[in-house]
Structure formats: C-alpha cells, structure tokens
C-alpha cells in the first residue's frame, strides 16, 4: 500500500498573505489583472474569483525551496521539482504569437539548464483569447508560437505536458510550468482526439498538450495533473448553446479520463486499482450568470473536493466552461 504525503501539495487559501506551508513553490493569485509581480512568490493571473473562499492557490512542498526572480521571471526549485513563471508584454514582443514562442523557448532552455528537463504541467493565461487578429483567432496565434518553440527544441508529441490556456481579463501574458528530473507519463482521453492531432480547421498548428500527466517519483505519492477539460468529444464541441449538456459532457470526459488512467496504472501495479481523489479542482466560467447551475452540478459530482470558480474565456468561443485540477492516486 502506497500512502505518502511527500512531494508537492496544492491548496486554496482565503488570504494570499497566509503561508499555507513552510515551503511554498508559488502562490497563484485570483485577481482582476495579470501583472508581473514575481517578488514574494506571487503569480498574478488576471482570473477573478467568482465563487469560493479562496483568493489564491498555493503550490507547496515538503522540503526546502530555493527561489529567485527578475523583472518578468520567477523560479523556485527543490531537489525534485522546478517551477518557472514568465510574464510577457505582447506589444514589446511583437504580438502574442512571437511572445509565446519567445517565452516557451526561454522556458525550455531554462529547464534543461537547471537539470529538470521534463515538463509535467503548464498553465497559460492571456487576454482576449477568442478575438481575431490578422484574420486568426488569438488562441490559434498562441498555438503557433508554442508549437514553434517545441519544434525548435525537439519536443516530440509524446513529451507534450498537460496544460490549459484561458483568456484573462487583461494584462500580461503569463506562462508558468512545473518540471521534474524524471518524465511524467502523459495520457490521452479515450473519448477525445489527441489535441495535437486536431484537423487543420482548428488552426494552422494543433494545440500541443496532453490530456493529463501522471507524476510518480520515488517515495512520493502518485499525482495526476489534469488538463483543461470541456464539452468536446473526438475533436468536436458538443452542445454549443446548451449549458446543462456541456456540463454533463465535461463531467463525463473527466470520469472517462480518470477511469482510464486508473485502469492503466493498475496494470503496472499488480492489478491494484487505485482510489483517485481530487486534491483541488478549478472551474473556468465564461458567463458569470451560469455559475449557479455549474456550481450545483460540480458540487454534486465532487461534493468533498476543494473547488474554485474563476471568470475566464475558454479557448473555444462555443465552450461555456472548462475544468482542470490535481488528483491523487492512492492504493
């Protein structure tokens, strides 16, 4: 039986000044504007809190943390983990596509240089994700920049980490990532096409991420990082104008993904099926007026899980919500 609290832990706190841990890697703020504020290990997201008694998310560890920062860069590391954050000014970088490519190249170079070459999870937040620029949706410009950096650095599809990309209410482009010295196992959802195999109608470059990443380190409890999950089956949005059915499909996708990963995990662990429990869940809500119904159904599905509801634009204009989070596998 593997039950171990070593490693990293995520929790939601009602006050960003509260430590939550003696060893925080970072504190991610749910705020009204994304600005470079890397001092004091605060990461400003520009994603306002809609519901929940938490103003920040704290990613902490059980061991000592070294950290540092400069104008638009923050880093924190332990023996096992590296967390990096970059803020980018699109005007200074020549637009979102170039800013994304520049930051991802910096990020990928930094993880190699520091000796944590394997990306586990990446979070991407920027303004006006569904708006058109030069005839192309801004999310698709972002995908081109990310793809170009991965290609330039030799990152293959099977190495793509779990990720999310959301539109915030304004400010800088923020990209932050968790990396390790050993690779995570990346998974796809049996109900969904791999994002990196989407047809060209979804953009010149497909999104470069996995549906989930399972991290197993010696003496650390297995931890599953689930990407932004929404009402998509295959590669097609389901029920574009129906909130109730979008919530239903989103929850079905999560259930399918978690069941599949637990089944695959059991095959490599003497057939023991793990319990999969949510450590934290984050729900991104496009229209605040939809919050009561979204909250009702999420609470019904995950009655004991810590959940925050954030205002955000989803990467497809016809999606009304997206859910991601961290789950623990316990045998």
**Which residues contact residue 279 at a Cβ distance below 8 angstroms, ignoring those fewer than 6 apart?**
9, 10, 11, 223, 305, 306, 325, 326, 327, 328
Q: How many CB atoms lie within 10 A of CB 225?
A: 24
**CA angle, 298 then 322 then 287, to 5°:** 85
Would you call 322 a catalytic residue per the annotation? yes
Residue 43 CA to residue 315 CA, distance in Å, equals: 21
Residue 154 CA to residue 175 CA, distance in Å, equals: 20
| Helical (H) or strand (E) element with 75 | strand 73-77
Q: Judge contact between 52 and 309, C-beta under 8 A.
A: yes
Q: Which candidate, 295, 294, 320, 323, places its Cα nearest to that of 240?
A: 320
Catalytic residue among 77, 137, 216, 322: 322
Residue 162 CA to residue 141 CA, distance in Å, equals: 19
Cα 317 to chain centroid, rounded: 19
* Residues marked as catalytic: 322
């Amino acid at each position: 039986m593997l039950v171990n609290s070593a490693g990293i832990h995520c929790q939601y706190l009602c006050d960003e000044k509260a430590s939550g841990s003696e060893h925080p890697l970072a504190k991610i703020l749910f705020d009204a504007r994304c600005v470079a504020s890397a001092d004091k290990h605060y990461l400003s997201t520009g994603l306002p809190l809609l519901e929940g008694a938490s103003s920040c998310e704290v990613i902490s560890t059980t061991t000592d943390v070294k950290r540092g920062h400069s104008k638009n860069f923050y880093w924190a590391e332990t023996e096992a983990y590296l967390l990096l954050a970059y803020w980018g000014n699109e005007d200074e970088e020549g637009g979102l596509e170039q800013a994304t490519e520049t930051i991802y190249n910096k990020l990928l170079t930094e993880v190699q240089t520091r000796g944590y070459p394997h990306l586990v999870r990446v979070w991407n937040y920027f303004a006006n994700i569904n708006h058109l620029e030069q005839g192309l949706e801004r999310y698709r410009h972002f995908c081109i920049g990310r793809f170009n950096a991965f290609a330039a650095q030799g990152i293959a599809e099977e190495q793509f980490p779990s990720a999310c990309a959301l539109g915030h209410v304004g400010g800088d482009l923020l990209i932050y990532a968790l990396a390790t010295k050993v690779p995570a196992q990346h998974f796809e959802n049996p109900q969904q096409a791999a994002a990196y195999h989407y047809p060209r109608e979804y953009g010149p470059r497909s999104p470069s991420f996995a549906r989930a990443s399972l991290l197993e380190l010696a003496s650390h409890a297995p931890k599953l990082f689930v990407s932004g999950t929404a009402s998509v089956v295959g590669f097609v949005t389901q029920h574009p104008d129906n909130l109730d059915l979008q919530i239903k499909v989103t929850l079905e996708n999560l259930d399918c993904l978690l069941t599949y990963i637990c089944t695959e995990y059991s095959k490599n662990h003497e057939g023991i099926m793990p319990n999969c429990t949510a450590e934290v869940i984050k729900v991104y809500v496009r229209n605040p007026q939809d919050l009561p119904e979204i909250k009702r159904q999420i609470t019904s599905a995950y009655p004991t899980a810590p959940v925050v509801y954030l205002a955000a634009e989803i990467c497809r204009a016809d999606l009304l919500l997206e859910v991601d989070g961290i789950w623990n596998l316990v045998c």
